[in-house]
Each structure stands twice: as structure tokens, then as C-alpha cells.
Structure 1
């Protein structure tokens, strides 16, 4: 019989890490890797499934905050390290882990990154945000004009100290962005150490430091190189533009690649917009509304007539019910619904990546007044997280 336990000590944490890495077809952490991984374990947030004394499955969450439409930040669980031992898959272990984690999570919402797209819908997670995989041909890239500020390169020790402070000072500006916890920064330090050519630059404007990016450069052929942006944050349009000027004018770099939101405007920077190419569109944010009434009340809505939405949640039945949503907020009601939706698809529309009308067109949901529902949940900016965990 599968038993779910909260892990409490370093030995259990290390076994948890080893099992997860094995589930991802990797080896156990070395002592050096473990010294960096250990700080990412937080009390009461690492769960494991056991068959008697044997650990057979893992999951974990990190305490964070999430920006919702309208700009509010709500407590958020960043779910990661989800794995089941290969000889125990398809035996209900993952379902038991997900049920226990979501039932005990202290946060009203959770997100994760899905290794496979078919896994998490049955646990109430919806695809709530996608990214464009962008490539810029710097051999033809021309951004008119010069920089308005200054870009300077940092050594790693300085970057390790400055970036957490600067990230917090810049703030979170788009739906889907999350705050970063100390363990996240510890893992980033480790990743930058492993990448011998990782570079961090900071932008300064008239009011001081207001943007940064971290990148690495890899060789292609005949002195040609590809620059991969790994982290890119900015507080002002000038900082964003200047950092794009910096990466596209580097010597011996022929291509720049990065991930951007679906409505990113980078192409308009260049005299020839064809230098910007979308290589792929990929899912990023999988969102689970753990406390539906709280999360419906946390975001803002468009100025249209109220719509009554009936939500079905088999895993967390307390969420099931009808909610009147209007420009004034949301409340639970006993009224005939205008539309009916499972909780995973409510998560999909929550940040504005997709619409009720699109889901209805594919026969995923049923109801009326879809245009009003779309207008209620419309957003000015498409969601992106930009923080991998």
C-alpha cells in the first residue's frame, strides 16, 4: 500500500533527489552537487511515496508568489521534482502524491513545468502560458540608433550578490511571473559555475541599475557562434532595447536565441523584421487553481455584464460550484450557470493565454455568453514566467 510522507531530514532529502534524478534517467547527485541542491529543500514541502520502507515517488514545492492579471501577487507553490520509480509507474503512485500535495499545499495556486503534455491535466493543471522560441540573425540585424544607457559585464561573485537584489527591485510586471526563492538562486549559481562561458551583464539608466541578462555562447563553425539568453529582466523600455543592442552587436556572434512571450515586440526593434524568426512555440506554465474562490477574487476583470461559471474539480471537490464573475470580482452563487468548465481548463484561461470561445470551439467546454466571458478574462499582456524551476 502506498503511503505519502513529509520528509524531514537531509538523508531523506538526498534520497528524494536521487530518486527524482533516476526518474529523469540521470545519476545520483555527487557530493559537490548535493551541497548546492540541499538549500533548495524547504521544510514541509518535500513529499515522498513509500511502499513499506522503500521510497518510490517524489514531489516538492517551493514557496513563491505569482503575478495575476491586474498586477496582484498571490502566494504560489512552484511544484518540481515530480517522479516515480520506474518499477512502480502506472500503479497510482503519482495520483496519490498529487492528491496529498494539493490537499496540503499552503498556497492557493501552484504551477509546474511538464515533462510530458498529457500527464497533469488529470490532476487539474491547465496549460496557462506558452513561450516563443526566438532566433535573431545578427549578421543582418540592425537596431537604429545607439544605447541610451550603459551596459557593464559582471564577474560571477558580483553577479551572485547583485542579481537577487536587482530582480526584486525590478519587480514582476507580467501575469505568470513569479518571485524567486533563495534556493533558486543557489541552483543558478551552480548552473553558472558549470557553464564556463556564462556571462552576466547589467544595464544602468539615469536612475541606476534597471536591467540584466545572463547568456552563454557556444561555437558553431568557422568562428561562428550562437548566443543563448538564459535570463533577461528589465524595468524600462530603454533597458530592454539597450540590452538587445548589446547582444546583437557582439563580435563573432551570428545568432541569438531566447524565449519570449507570445506578444513580444522584439521584431519591431530591427530595420528588417525578417532577422527575427520564431523557431517554435512551447508550453511553459501549467497552472493549478488550488483555491478557486480565492484565485477568482485575486485578479481583475473586464467591464462587461457578469457571467456565472460552473467549475468541476474532482480532485479538490470543495472548489466545485458556481461563481458569478464580474468587473467587481467573483463570488460563489447558487444560480444557473452560463457555462461549465473543468478546473484544469479554468486554469488555462485564468492568465489569458487562451479564451473560453477557443475551448468551446474544440468542444472542451459548453455554455453560452462566451464572448462576455472572453471579455471578462481578457488581458493586456500575454503571460510568461521566465523563471525555470
Structure 2
């Protein structure tokens, strides 16, 4: 039996504060201090939802904020970035998360968002709401002071900034760089404020460096220092929080700089794009290790027509795609190819998928033929998977979000 849960828009700061405490509890951590919440927990453009018990207590929450998401071809579309999703431990397994997700997806579509996106704390729960992995990333380690291949790009000048200068310079630079890669999105002002805070909530040492190429600033890195172990004679390591670069030369220049910092034994970075290929720059490629590969950005298309219409398609003969979206009622049949996307309600589908399994191909992370081979897509016309590969393929970098939220 289905239950109509009490889902509410939360506009009162006290209600949002209570909802966020539920979220923090769902992550098994203590509540933020009032000072931290006052400094970083209240943004006017956020959309908070809460689900309530019969006794009027908040039992779960979901938050989102507006952003712009870069699609293959470079168009940037409005999207809702989802965060702070959680249900109280004594209120789970009762359909409350499903009620929150349906309400959030519907609200995002009604506001004009093309998609919703998130970073998943639990990767097993979002597929049933239409989300799929749209980009992946790697955790890497580079031993400090490696020998670089003589032909490897040297990069340009790198200069360091203090927190105040970095807060002024980096947001606009990151905004520009995020528009050059599918899955790129803008970091929020709140995130920048928290990162470069000089108040009571400030972190410890934080290094910032900007790379300057022939046409001006074209990359930056932000890092902290991970403590070493003097008993085991293990030195400190550079822990990279952000590294963005517009060109291979800027990428090489920033990594050379980080790997050359004195007293550090290695550089570790989380969430790096799959096409960074640092090993190709090294005389000994084993100095660079991929420690893990994981999901990066999860995507859920909420306006199918707008999403398919905004994306650039490969110069190939169209395929007819049937898409299933039972949650939002966005199911339909579309012809997609070099001429764009158009409804094809009366056409027999060449290929078929759910809205969740569209996500891996939509930004270019996976080829449709790989999804057919994995059983996530169905091929109805022989050769349609290969044609779909050509249709979905767009020259450029692999998708990568790189933006925490």
C-alpha cells in the first residue's frame, strides 16, 4: 500500500537548520555549530525539501541549488545540483526517500532545469530514481620530484596566492574552465567562502597556485598538506583539492610545480579526469599510480526534449531512440543524429534505454555499444549500436565534473 508522505518546501531558516541536522545524522556525524551554520549553511537560492512524520517531526530532507551544466558541444544548460539528501535512521524503509526524490525531480523540471546532478554518498540508491553515472574520476599518486620526459610540456609561470587573493581570482577562472569540458559546472560562492575562510571555520594550511600561459591565466591548483609519519620515516604529502587546466601545457606545469615542492614525498589527488595521462609525461611511468577509479557525477535528465535538443550530436545518420522514464512520465521516442533531435513517436526504435542508463552516454563517458553489451540498452535494429556510437561521439575531452558540492 502506498503512503502519501508529508513533503514540504522549507523556507524558514529554523526548519532548514533542523533538516540539515537530520542530514548530518544520516551521515553518522555530529551537528554543525551555530557559527558554522550561520557562516555557510544559508544560501538564498537553495531549494530545501523536508519529509515529516505524523507527529510533525522532520524525518528526512533533500536540498538543491541552481547551476549550469556543460554538455558535449559546449552548451551550458540550467541544472539543479542535489545535496544534503538523508533520512533519519528511525524513519527509513517507509518510502520517505522516494517521496522526497519525486518531489525534488518534479520541482526541478517545473523550474526549467534540464537535469539534476549529484555526487553520491551511497551509490546503490539513486538508479531507481532515474540517475546514472555520467562521468568517472580517478584517485592518483605521483611521487615527488620525478624525472620528466624531455619532450613533455614544461608549462608556463606558476605563482602562489594567499587566501584573500585566491578568493578573488579563482571563481571566475574555474567558471571559464568548467565550460570547456562536458559535466563541468560552476562551484558555488558558498563553497569558495568555506574553502578560503579566514574565520573560526578556517582549515589549516592551504596552498593555491595559478598557472599563466601565453594568453593569460589558464589553470590553478589548491592543496593542503597531509601529515607524514616520522616514526616510519614517511614525509608529508601534498593533497590536491582542486586542479583545473585549460591546456596540456597548463596541466603539466601545475603538476610539475606540485611535484617539486620541497619536503613533500608525493602528491595525491582525488577525482582526477580519466584523460589526464600523467604517466605519458614521465621518464618512469611507475612514479604515477592510479589508486582507484570511481563514479564522479550522477545525472538525471528531467526535461528530455531540452536535454536532447541542447546536446551536440556526431555527424552520423540518425538513430531512433526510445527512452523510458516512468518516474517523471518523460518516456518517448526520438530521432537523434547530425540534424539534431526531434520527436519520432510513430517510428520503430533502433535502440532503447531507460533514463538512468541514458546518463553514461549522454555526456560522452560510455559508448552506446558498451551499454548494449552490458545489457543496459537494447538494440532492435542490427548495427544500431555502432551507429549510436557515432551519433553520441563528439570530439573533445572526456566528461569530468571536478566540482564538489
Fold conserved between structures, TM > 0.5: yes
Aligned counterpart for 1:209 among listed residues 214, 217, 221: 217
Please tell me whether the aligned partners of residues 13 and 42 of structure 2 are also in contact (alpha carbons under 8 angstroms). Answer: no
Alignment match, 2:170 = 163
More displaced 10-residue stretch of structure 1: 91-100 or 197-206? 197-206
* 1:1-389 paired onto structure 2 within 5 Å: 2-40=5-43, 42-43=45-46, 45-52=47-54, 53-105=56-108, 106=111, 107-142=113-148, 144=150, 147-190=154-197, 194-221=202-229, 222=233, 224-258=235-269, 259-317=271-329, 319-333=330-344, 334-367=346-379, 368=381, 369-380=384-395, 381-389=397-405
SS in 1 for 2:366: coil
For residue 173 of structure 1, report the CA deviation from its aligned partner.
1.1
Please tell me whether the aligned partners of residues 79 and 111 of structure 1 are also in contact (alpha carbons under 8 angstroms). Answer: yes
SS in 2 for 1:6: strand
In the alignment, the residues of structure 2 paired with residue 41 and residue 283 of structure 1 have an alpha-carbon distance, to the nearest angstrom, of 29
Q: Provide, for residues 132-169 of structure 1, a one-character-per-residue CA deviation record: whole Å limited to 9, x for no partner.
A: 11111125443548955322221112212221133234
Specify every segment of 5 or more residues in structure 1 that has no aligned partner in the other structure, as ranges.
Answer: none
Specify every segment of 5 or more residues in structure 2 that has no aligned partner in the other structure, as ranges.
Answer: none
Over 3 Å counting, the alpha-carbon distance change for 1:290 and 1:191 in structure 2 is farther
Please tell me whether the aligned partners of residues 154 and 253 of structure 2 are also in contact (alpha carbons under 8 angstroms). Answer: yes
More displaced 10-residue stretch of structure 1: 75-84 or 192-201? 192-201
Please tell me whether the aligned partners of residues 13 and 41 of structure 1 are also in contact (alpha carbons under 8 angstroms). Answer: no
SS in 1 for 2:297: strand
CA RMSD of aligned residues (A): 2.0
Over 3 Å counting, the alpha-carbon distance change for 1:191 and 1:285 in structure 2 is farther
For residue 198 of structure 1, report the CA deviation from its aligned partner.
1.4
Q: Provide, for residues 319-363 of structure 1, a one-character-per-residue CA deviation record: whole Å limited to 9, x for no partner.
A: 101001111111111211011111100112101111222222222
In the alignment, the residues of structure 1 paired with residue 160 and residue 131 of structure 2 have an alpha-carbon distance, to the nearest angstrom, of 40
Please tell me whether the aligned partners of residues 146 and 282 of structure 2 are also in contact (alpha carbons under 8 angstroms). Answer: no
In the alignment, the residues of structure 2 paired with residue 305 and residue 142 of structure 1 have an alpha-carbon distance, to the nearest angstrom, of 44
Please tell me whether the aligned partners of residues 178 and 185 of structure 2 are also in contact (alpha carbons under 8 angstroms). Answer: no
Q: Provide, for residues 219-265 of structure 1, a one-character-per-residue CA deviation record: whole Å limited to 9, x for no partner.
A: 22336121111011223333222111101111121111113212222
For residue 190 of structure 1, report the CA deviation from its aligned partner.
4.5
Over 3 Å counting, the alpha-carbon distance change for 1:277 and 1:26 in structure 2 is same
Aligned residues: 387
Please tell me whether the aligned partners of residues 227 and 236 of structure 2 are also in contact (alpha carbons under 8 angstroms). Answer: yes
Over 3 Å counting, the alpha-carbon distance change for 1:165 and 1:302 in structure 2 is closer
Please tell me whether the aligned partners of residues 109 and 289 of structure 1 are also in contact (alpha carbons under 8 angstroms). Answer: yes
Please tell me whether the aligned partners of residues 36 and 190 of structure 1 are also in contact (alpha carbons under 8 angstroms). Answer: no
TM-score, structure 1 as length reference: 0.94
TM-score, structure 2 as length reference: 0.90
For residue 79 of structure 1, report the CA deviation from its aligned partner.
0.5
Please tell me whether the aligned partners of residues 153 and 248 of structure 2 are also in contact (alpha carbons under 8 angstroms). Answer: no
In the alignment, the residues of structure 1 paired with residue 326 and residue 177 of structure 2 have an alpha-carbon distance, to the nearest angstrom, of 39
